[in-house]
Amino acid sequence: MIYADNAATTRTSPAARQAVLDTMDRFWGNPSSLYAFGQEAAEVLYQARADVAACLNAKPQEIIFTSGGSEADNQAINSAAAVGKRKGKNHIITTPIEHHAVLHTVEKLAKEGYEITYLPMDASGIVKVEDVAAAIRPETCLVSVMFANNEIGTIQPIAEIGALCREKKIPFHTDAVQAVGHVPIDVEAMNIDMLSLSGHKFHGPRGVGALYVRRGAPLVSFIQGGAQERGHRAGTENLPAIVGMAAAMKDACAKIAANDAYVSTLRDALIAGLSEIPHGALNGATAPRLPGNVNFCFEGIEGESLLLLLDDKGICASSGSACTSGSLDPSHVLLAIGRPHEVAHGSLRLTLGEDNTMQDVEQIIAAVKDVVTYLRGMSPVWKELEKGERNYVI
Amino acid sequence: MLYSEKVMDHFRNPRNVGEIPDADGIGEVGNAKCGDIMKMYLKIDDGVVTDAKFETFGCGSAIATSSMATELIKGKPLSEALTLTNKAVVEALDGLPAHKLHCSVLAEEAVKAAVKDYYDKNNIPYDATQFCDHDCENCSLEH
């Protein structure tokens, strides 16, 4: 099997697995308990918090552990919205290519009377800082721009947006689920006020994530109960998963430069190989782009059948086709960067990691070429394109 | 698994793929914007479907339902081909996930569109109500 869907989830690293098991075996006490055995667990929890914080250049007390990236996004945005409302501010700026954890949260807030500005988006898949500046109003209570896109891998100008928001004194949140452990992040230098991350995107366990919140930024708690996480998230801490995530994050952050050099070489070879397929095109700018992300549209075919046939050849990939999502519309990201529906249906996302090899890349290129040719051979759309009865889009 | 073994078999090894250059009836349904188009070619001799082929742009179940529909009407009298329902296609494939049932409707419609095309080309009178007019809100057809 060639696993090329690392944006969906990643293999749990041996270090993370070991950390989970050790915590289960040795530190199963409740960190809130007063006796020494409970306090040992509290020590382990503190160390995990310190490790996660260090990877972001944050302070341990600025880290809130959550059930994952979606919860962190929900809490960050709803908190900023609630705080804004108290000050009479009800305007939120975000992008049309956010993950649904952000988009659906702001859509819910829109129904409650908040005004949402979706920043302009072009084929590059990267927002412009001047567009953020132009969108800011006196009543803006939050700017939320993802660090790197989960579908097309484009990296946003986070430091520039952070500096702008700092200057304008507007809270700035970034969904960094795809970026943490893959690109360097410094919440101080980048002026990030809130940041969401998820353990299983960098070889940690799933069901665990974190929200970084700059000290002093008010947070609303959505789970009422005990005083865990400094009162911001009730419930006994999922210590094994938290410690596993911290181990994976420490590992991933230590290897960012080496992994980036290796994985981006694989990515560029894959992009070059797939670019040989006629009437196919890379989605989003080549750079800045996550080291492992490759996302193509191929005209005249549909993504789900492409994925099923790649699966038959042992390749795990994903698509922004409507058929793979269970909805009628293809990926909102591909539509936002200007791909028409019929082309967006024929998309393929391959996300590589440090476990992949150049041999994997060669096999993927050969398999995708075969499958695209085969599916085009039975596609009435492709036939019309070839006959000139329909115009090529790409 | 998302799909039954039968669906995967007809997806991996689709029967009757291709074009019939001298087809007597051709039907095309769906649209690329929605992500599926089926084109059905029929050869009709003496009121019997002597050959059926298809070309499909679409997901796994779109390809599998096209393949199964051609199998179910080949060698059948036109009157019988016209009674092919999406339910019969779904049953023959051992079921489809709920959100894929529209693919089977497309397969039924593609067959009907091809028969209608044959009737129209040969000035054969027919009952127009048995064909989909793509007015979904006032649809009387049971699919």
Task: Report which of A134, A148, A164, A172 is spatially closest to residue A98, judged by C-alpha positions.
Answer: A148
Task: Report which of B32, B18, B44 is spatially closest to residue B116, judged by C-alpha positions.
Answer: B44
Amino acid at A234: A
Residue B44 lies in a domain: yes
Residue B78 lies in a domain: yes
pLDDT digits (tens, 9 = 90+) for B50-66: 999 999 999 999 999 99
How far apart are the C-alpha atoms of B105 and B65, rounded to whole Å? Answer: 9
> What's the pLDDT band for B90 if we cut at 50, 70, 90?
very high
ipTM: 0.92
Paired tokens of A387: 């006959």
The whole-number pLDDT of residue B33 equals: 84
Q: Range of B95's domain?
A: 5-137
Task: Report which of A273, A285, A284 is spatially closest to residue A344, judged by C-alpha positions.
Answer: A284
- What residues in A contact B56, CB-CB < 8 Å? 378-380
Choose the mutation target among B57, B65, B66, B101 for the interface with A, i.e. most A CBs under 10 Å. B57
**Is the pLDDT confidence value at B135 over 70?**
no
pLDDT digits (tens, 9 = 90+) for A140-197: 999 999 999 999 999 999 999 999 999 999 999 999 999 999 999 999 999 999 999 9
Can you give the CATH number for the domain in which B19 is found?
A: 3.90.1010.10
Chain B CA closest to residue A300: B57
Judged by CB atoms closer than 8 Å, whether chains meet at A381 and B34 is answered as no
Paired tokens of A154: 């484009």
Q: Which of B57, B60, B99 has its CB closest to that of A300?
A: B57
- What residues in B contact A303, CB-CB < 8 Å? 59
Amino acid at A169: K
B74 CA: distance to closest CA in chain A (Å): 19
Judged by CB atoms closer than 8 Å, whether chains meet at B35 and A326 is answered as no
pLDDT digits (tens, 9 = 90+) for A213-257: 999 888 999 899 999 999 999 999 999 999 999 999 999 999 999
DSSP state of B93: T
Chain A CA closest to residue B97: A326
For A52-79, give the DSSP string: HHHHHT--GGGEEEESSHHHHHHHHHHH
The whole-number pLDDT of residue A381 equals: 96
Judged by CB atoms closer than 8 Å, whether chains meet at A341 and B35 is answered as yes
Amino acid at A340: P
Query: CA of A48: how far to CAs of A42, A223, A299, A331, in Å?
Result: 10, 22, 47, 36
Judged by CB atoms closer than 8 Å, whether chains meet at B63 and A381 is answered as no
Residue B142 lies in a domain: no
> What's the pLDDT band for A128 if we cut at 50, 70, 90?
very high
- What residues in A contact B37, CB-CB < 8 Å? 379-381
**Is the pLDDT confidence value at A324 over 90?**
no
Judged by CB atoms closer than 8 Å, whether chains meet at A302 and B59 is answered as yes
CB pairs under 8 A between A and B: 68
The whole-number pLDDT of residue A270 equals: 98
Domain count within chain B? 1
Residue B17 lies in a domain: yes
- What residues in B contact A387, CB-CB < 8 Å? none
A297 CA: distance to closest CA in chain B (Å): 13
Amino acid at A29: G
Mean pLDDT, range A361-377, rounded to an integer:
98
pLDDT digits (tens, 9 = 90+) for A27-63: 999 999 999 999 999 999 999 999 999 999 999 999 9
What residues of A are annotated to the active site?
323
**Is the pLDDT confidence value at B136 over 60?**
no
- What residues in A contact B36, CB-CB < 8 Å? 302
Chain B CA closest to residue A303: B59
Residues forming beta bridges with residue B51, ordered by sequence position: B43
Residue B143 lies in a domain: no
How far apart are the C-alpha atoms of A107 and A117, rounded to whole Å? Answer: 11
List all residues of chain A from 252 to 311 with a beta carbon under 8 Å from chain B. Answer: 300-305, 308-309
DSSP state of A155: B
Count Cα atoms within 13 angstroms, Cβ side, for B60: 27
How far apart are the C-alpha atoms of A258 and A291, rounded to whole Å? Answer: 11
How far apart are the C-alpha atoms of B38 and B134, rounded to whole Å? Answer: 15
B63 CA: distance to closest CA in chain A (Å): 8
Strands (E) across A121-268 are located at 140-144, 172-175, 194-198, 209-213
Query: CA of A58: how far to CAs of A55, A98, A145, A221, in Å?
Result: 8, 24, 19, 21
Q: Are A200 and A191 contacting, i.e. CB atoms less than 8 angstroms apart?
A: no
How far apart are the C-alpha atoms of B62 and A101, rounded to whole Å? Answer: 31
Determine the 3-state secondary structure of A282 from DSSP. Answer: strand
Total length of chain B: 143
**Is the pLDDT confidence value at B132 over 90?**
no
Paired tokens of A135: 């969108």
Average pLDDT over chain A reads 97
Residue B125 lies in a domain: yes
Paired tokens of A134: 């132009």
How far apart are the C-alpha atoms of A348 and A307, rounded to whole Å? Answer: 8
What predicted TM-score, i.e. pTM, was given to this entire model?
A: 0.95
Q: Which of B32, B55, B99 has its CB closest to that of A383?
A: B55
Give the least confident one: A50-59, A60-69, B130-139: B130-139
How far apart are the C-alpha atoms of B25 and B119, rounded to whole Å? Answer: 8
Choose the mutation target among A298, A301, A302, A389 for the interface with B, i.e. most B CBs under 10 Å. A302
Q: Is A351 exposed, middle or buried (0-12, 13-18, 19+ CB in 10 A)?
A: buried
**B74: phi then psi, degrees, rounded to nearest 5:** -65, 130
- Residue ranges of domains in chain A, CATH in brackets: 14-254 (3.40.640.10), 256-387 (3.90.1150.10)
Q: Are A95 and A127 contacting, i.e. CB atoms less than 8 angstroms apart?
A: yes
Residues forming beta bridges with residue A125, ordered by sequence position: none
Residue B66 lies in a domain: yes
